Structure 1
Amino acid sequence: MLTCKLSPQLFKLNLLQIVRRQVKSTYGQKSPTEYIPVYSFPYIQSLAFIHKAKVYQTAATFIGIPASFALSVANVFSTQVCSSITVCGITGCMLLHTLGYLTSNTIGIVYLHKDETKSKVSYLDAWGSRRDVIIDLKNIVPFSDQPTRFTDPLYLRFQQYNSKDKYKMNVKYGIVLDPKKFQVIFHKNSD
């Protein structure tokens, strides 16, 4: 008889490890060599984790609240436990959705094409996934042409002339990798 002993540690994959793997596979990708990285936000993986946790928390809340009410009706546990589960679930959802709203469309990396006519912007969408958009440099609104906002110490808005999409560029913790190429993207065009 053939027996196999499995360690219980093999089955101890927690949510954080799974999300880290997904985020690293998404944000660990290299850009093609035709684009040169100009700006990087090193904490984009942490923001992606918030968005992924938001999805899992919402699913757990939608499953947990009806289940707790059903178990309360069946007298498995008291109504105080049911109300505690409800309050914790809804509070957690509100917190994570608020953080997710504040951090959605955050730019992780900005690339400049070698011919200096296009820029590729990699940003975080509402689901915690990386999205890439290629923008013509003539369509980028320079920071000097944008009105001052109360959020400017935290992030600047990356806007386009021909689109309503707005992205957030963190100025406090973001790293400008190539200042000259950064100015090529965000300087005021004299056309």
Structure 2
Amino acid sequence: MAALLRAVPRLPGPTVWGRPLYGLRCRNGQDPRKWVGSRLATSKEKPPGTETEKFQMVYRFDGIRAFGYLSQLKVAQTALTVVALPPGFYWYSQGLMTLNSLCLVGGIAGFALTMLCWMSYFFRRLVGILYVNESGTMLRVAHLTFWGWRQDTYCPVADVIPLAETQDRPQELFMRIQQYSGKQTFYISLRYGRILDRERFTQVFGALDTRK
């Protein structure tokens, strides 16, 4: 995972989010609506009272696009592998395939499904962008869905555990964003991501513990 992160180029700034290839726009702090292809971002219901508020971007991980494509590729690869099972059983029943070959196809399909579940569990919790509303009471987390598309999840700032109170350190590859309610855990990478608004970031997550 660390090697994959190092392979993702560090993009220079917000202008790259406006490239037509990705269908993204991020000029003047505007919200990029899409990450991969042309599918619109999905969003869980916005909490009451925040409909008219603007959200300020405080953190961004540019490599999220690569992980989105990788997630979609893994779903497609797994689907093709599983689809190959019924023909395999048919060919085996007709004597056109040996039992060893059928077991090999089944093993590959099982391994692909296992890897898909593991990768999806991580990718769906990997944070691409963090936003905070103007009043500093709501955190908006942009992350991936199972299919590799973007989804926004809203978390009350009061429910977010400060990073200094966790066992994670900024030097680690990933840090967890946890909630007192235990609803959902997300992962951010301060080593490969960028804090764009340190003041607002500190208001939400507290001062970073730099101990090694």
TM-score of the two chains, using structure 2 as the length reference: 0.64
Residue 62 in structure 1 maps to residue 75 in structure 2: no
> Which sections of structure 2, spanning at least 5 residues, go unmatched?
1-21, 24-34, 43-51, 208-212
Aligned residue pairs total 166
Question: Does 2:202 align with 1:183?
Answer: yes
Seq. identity, %: 23
Q: Secondary structure at the match of 1:25?
A: coil
Q: Is the 8 A contact 1:158 1:167 kept in 2?
A: yes
Q: Which residue of 1 is the match for residue 191 of structure 2?
A: 172
Would the alpha carbon gap of residues 151 and 77 (structure 1) be closer, same or farther in structure 2, given more than 3 Å must change? farther
| Aligned-partner SS, 1:23 | coil
The 1-side partners of 2:171 and 2:83 are apart by: 39
The amino acid across from 2:162 in the alignment is P
Q: Which residue of 2 aligns with 1:88?
A: 108
Q: CA deviation at 1:152?
A: 7.3
Query: Greater CA radius of gyration, 1 or 2?
Result: 1
In structure 2, give the amino acid aligned to 1:111: Y
More helix by share: 1
Offset from partner CA, 1:57-78 (integer Å, 9 cap, x none): 3322332112112123223444
| Structure 1: stretches of 5+ with no match in the other structure | 1-19
Aligned-residue offset at 1:110: 0.3
Give, in whole Å, the separation in 2 of the partners of 1:28 and 1:102: 19
Q: Structure 2 vs 1, CA of residues 91 and 151 (structure 1 numbering), >3 Å: closer, same or farther?
A: farther
Deviations 1:132-178 (A, max 9, x none): 122222221100112x1599712111112234211111222111112
- Residues 68 and 101 of structure 1, relative CA distance in 2, 3 Å threshold: same
- Superposition CA RMSD, Å: 3.1
Q: TM-score, normalised by structure 1?
A: 0.70
Looking at structure 1, the residues matched to 144 and 171 of structure 2 have their Cα atoms a distance apart, in angstroms, of 19
- Residues 181/149 of structure 1: CA separation in 2 closer, same or farther (3 Å cut): closer
